[in-house]
């Protein structure tokens, strides 16, 4: 897992910190497609029950990649934090989905 040097929070502020500059919206996204091997395993788990770990791992990787891309964009703007982080997903075609992370890039002290 990548270590981020940037503070990223879902809240509109960071306790103990003051927002001194708002730099604007930042976002990162990735589009991932399912894999036939993972679909077969997921179908088998559907028969016997249990967590579909293949898809859980795919979604976790997608979230991390979207977060990395969002924080890269924030760093390019000169931010040291992102507030109001949210995730959004959408289906772009059968078997493929987009994961987007977005928030507000800020400078905090």
What CATH number did the domain enclosing 79 receive?
3.30.110.70
pLDDT at 1: 44
> Is 15 within the bounds of a domain?
yes
- Structural domain range at position 103: 7-34+63-108
pLDDT at 37: 61
pLDDT at 40: 65
pLDDT at 87: 97
Residue 103's nearest CA partner among 22, 34, 45, 36 is: 22
> Is 44 within the bounds of a domain?
no
Domain count, the chain: 1
- Contact between 14 and 81 under an 8 Å Cβ cutoff? The reply is yes
Percent of the chain with pLDDT over 70: 81
| Residues in the chain with pLDDT values less than 70 | 1-4, 34-49
> Is 99 within the bounds of a domain?
yes
Cα–Cα distance for residue pair 70/7, rounded to 1 Å: 12
């Amino acid at each position: 897992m990548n270590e981020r040097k940037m503070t990223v929070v879902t809240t509109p502020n960071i306790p103990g910190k003051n927002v001194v500059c708002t730099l604007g919206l930042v976002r990162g996204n990735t589009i991932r497609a399912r894999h036939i091997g993972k679909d077969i395993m997921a179908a088998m788990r559907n028969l016997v029950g249990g967590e579909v770990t293949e898809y859980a791992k795919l979604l976790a990787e997608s979230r991390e990649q979207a977060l990395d891309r969002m924080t890269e964009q924030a760093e390019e703007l000169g931010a040291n934090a992102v507030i109001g982080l949210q995730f959004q997903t959408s289906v772009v075609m059968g078997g493929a989905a987009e994961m987007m992370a977005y928030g507000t890039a800020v400078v905090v002290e």
